[in-house]
Amino acid sequence: MTSVSDTASRAATAPLLVAAAGGKPAHPPVWFMRQAGRSLPEYRKVREGVPMLQACFTPELVCEITMQPVRRHGVDAAILFSDIVVPLVAAGIGVDIVPGTGPVVAEPVRTRAAAEALPALEAGQLDKVADAIRLLRAELGDTPLIGFAGAPFTLASYLIEGGPSRHHERTKALMHSDPTTWHALLGALAAITTTFLEVQVAAGVQAVQLFDSWAGTLAERDYREFVLPHSARVLDAIEGVPKIHFGVGTSELLPAMREAGADVVGVDWRLPLDEAARRLERHGTAKPVVQGNLDPAVLLADFDAVEGEVRRIVAEGRAAGGHIVNLGHGVLPNTDPDVLTRVVELVHSLTP
């Protein structure tokens, strides 16, 4: 019988965890953001008629959906099936995910009183998430499980705007006109996010990723003043597992994002990985570890084009201290799953 310690020992040599620590893995590790999602017919089948938030709080369904891309593609990591608003919902904040729209907030948070009235998140409110993680660890064997959470700024943007926004005008207006309220809100969200990730780590995830989906809308000076301290608070609190920090459109923010305390910095498709590594290296004592950064749209091209881009990205990633192959954002819904499988096979055939 395989013991828990034996499994943990083998998992520690998993390519993703080796690369995250700046080591040289047996082959380049690869996983895909939004890999368990609408591109998989088996996902659409099990989600049929099940609202997103209901799925996120059903441990057996979370386990099944998280496992699907591991079984189909042979990726080097699973990422917990969830949503960035899950900790808000668990805490009792009125948020729903509306099909075709995204997160919609019942009562937007735009005043100091509203920010101070946000409820705290207790670990016991996440028992179903923890149960799902324990189910997954029993299923995954040596394949690492990545936990995740939305960063305080991205959560704040939804709460302030009331839903998705193109320009984040209310968010930026509050940030600049009422910094006291802004920092009170971000502080409350940092505490919620920290609890969400701590519960995941305690339940058994072996790495975490902090998504700051909308940070790329900010100037670096605003990011450093209004966002970085709160993301750093979250990342500083998480111990014992590699921490990945990712945002979209954040090429000019990468050094600041590294300063927030992540072990791995995710890079979208807009900046070559070797240039990203050079920028990051100027702001750290060790060679940076990067994640990325194939344009998700390229996966819809013919495979000769896909292969050329994958080979380029792996080659550019060698400039960093470590490289986890991924997309520059999530898998698009109309992506052919067989192309993802072929990308995994190709990446595994290459030299780190």
**Cα–Cα dist 160/279, whole Å:** 32
Whether the Cβ atoms of residue 110 and residue 172 lie closer than 8 Å to each other: no
Whether the Cβ atoms of residue 308 and residue 343 lie closer than 8 Å to each other: no
The active-site residue out of 43, 72, 110, 158 is: 158
Annotated active-site residue 43? The verdict is no
Annotated active-site residue 10? The verdict is no
Strands 102-105 and 95-98, bridge-based pairing = antiparallel
**Cα–Cα dist 191/231, whole Å:** 10
Whether the Cβ atoms of residue 32 and residue 331 lie closer than 8 Å to each other: yes
Helix-, strand-, coil-residue percentages of the chain, each rounded to 5: 50, 10, 35
The active-site residue out of 38, 224, 318, 342 is: 38
The active-site residue out of 47, 72, 110, 258 is: 47
The active-site residue out of 34, 270, 279, 318 is: 34
Whether the Cβ atoms of residue 209 and residue 144 lie closer than 8 Å to each other: no
The active-site residue out of 83, 212, 263, 268 is: 83
Determine the Cα angle at 325 with ends 323 and 328, to 5°: 110
Annotated active-site residue 158? The verdict is yes
The catalytic residue positions are: 34, 38, 47, 83, 158
